[in-house]
Amino acid sequence: MKKKPSVANRYAKSQALFAKARDLMPGGVSSPVRSFKSVGRDPLFIQSGEGSAVLDVDGNSYIDYVMSYGPLILGHCHPAVQAAVAKQISHGSSFGCCSASEVELAGMICQAMPAVEMIRFVNSGTEAVMSALRLARGFTGRKLIVKMAGGYHGHVDALLVQAGSGATTHGHPSSPGIPENVTANTVVIPFNDLPAAQAVFAKFGPQIAAIITEPVMGNIGVVLPQGGYLEGLRTLCDAAGALLIFDEVMTGFRVHPSGAQALHRIKPDLTCLGKIIGGGLPVGAYGGRRDIMNLVSPAGPVYQAGTLSGNPLAMQAGITTLRLLQDLNLYQRLEVLGKQLEDGLRQSAKVAQCAISVQRCGSMITPFFSPGGAPVHNYADALQCDQAAFSMFFQVLLDGGVLIPPSQFEAWFVSAAHSEKDIEKTVALAEKAMRAVAEK
């Protein structure tokens, strides 16, 4: 009988690449969460992806729920997206001039999201947020920005305070290199705590330029807004003359064809987008009310620019992706698959006698290893989760051929390319992983 390779041998090429990468790149990675540091493993180096699966450089295949952290709603290497990018690159990759594809994608987004009357393309979600905050301050003439504890809006200096995502995963909710005066105009409140927001507005109302929040939090794991919460934020902003900014970089076109703002029937003043609107290529955008957006240069005095903004490759990938997403049957399929995974994880936890809270919004899902399986409503709740238990859970899944984000504080993403069999295999392996956690 052929001897099963050791874990070390199974990942030998990834480990060798990581050793080399650490000499060339900080921590050996281009983004912190990719290091797998919080789960006690060396990172994988991925060679290719197709449909719902990725293949690493050692030849190991995985059912993928990272999905590039959200953009790949159609799965890896969708043939129509590939064809659109290939056709565009045959004509050129970047011009530093306007292109028709920018106009087409802008029109598609504005039609899908009624709150977005005008839009400006940038290169990342971080750029989108940074630009939206500048615009909010320019429009209102005010300085203060209110954000939610655990809300990660990219590595914008002013918002890297009590941040979620990788900043929490690696134990650094804020960062050295940011002067105190930069964050002095940032006010942090808990998500889902309307009285806290009301208190801040009672104290600082005339000084507040904007509230920025993910309508559905995804960077501490999936946390949904409680009833009346987003409506309450809208009311506070209206009364104080502040702007409401929704960071839908993750949720835009993911949880609903018109974003989480349509799902919860709240109209923000500005919306930040990314991920799906680029079909897997680097992209970001911010948009909103026409009177606000017309302050952006060259129409107005609020300056923002970018050499590669509106890159034709990203525009074509985005156009093709959004065109395919106009088939509402696709969202119905995502809901069915997401519900199957949610129910399966809950049943696995019950059978394994492992306490978790499974939280989902459409095709975004997170199993939280929270105390007693208590629901997670905010950042403080998320920080109570058992990260050692999650690490064990992650490693059993990885070695069994299922790749999930290597952090308790991230969302999993289901794509249209996943199958019922993918979900069944994941659920069966999750039960094994939860048994290991329960027996530790």
Identify whether the C-beta of residue 410 lies closer than 8 Å to the C-beta of residue 69. Answer: yes
Residue 379 known to be catalytic: no
Identify whether the C-beta of residue 140 lies closer than 8 Å to the C-beta of residue 241. Answer: yes
Query: Is 98 strand, coil or helix?
Result: coil
Q: Which of 11, 62, 69, 152 is catalytic?
A: 152
Q: Which of 37, 64, 229, 275 is catalytic?
A: 275
Alpha helices, DSSP H, located in 30-78 = none
Burial category of 262 from C-beta neighbours within 10 Å (exposed 0-12, middle 13-18, buried 19 and up): middle
Identify whether the C-beta of residue 42 lies closer than 8 Å to the C-beta of residue 15. Answer: yes
Tell whether omega for the bond before 71 is within 30 degrees of 0, i.e. cis: no
Identify whether the C-beta of residue 101 lies closer than 8 Å to the C-beta of residue 319. Answer: yes
Residue 267 known to be catalytic: no
Residue 275 known to be catalytic: yes
Q: Which of 64, 247, 386, 422 is catalytic?
A: 247
Residue 78: C-alpha distances to residues 52, 75, 327, 438 (Å): 10, 6, 15, 39
DSSP string, 180-220: HHHHTTEEEE-TT-HHHHHHHHHHHGGGEEEEEE-SSB-BT
Closest CA to 71 of 317, 256, 342, 285: 317
Residue 69 — left, alpha, or beta (φ > 0 → left; ψ -120 to 50 → alpha)? left
Identify whether the C-beta of residue 278 lies closer than 8 Å to the C-beta of residue 71. Answer: yes
- The identity of residue 258, as a single letter, is S
Closest CA to 126 of 251, 258, 272, 27: 272
- In the β-sheet with 61-64, what is the strand arrangement from edge to edge? 46-50, 53-56, 61-64, 402-403
Active site residues: 152, 247, 275
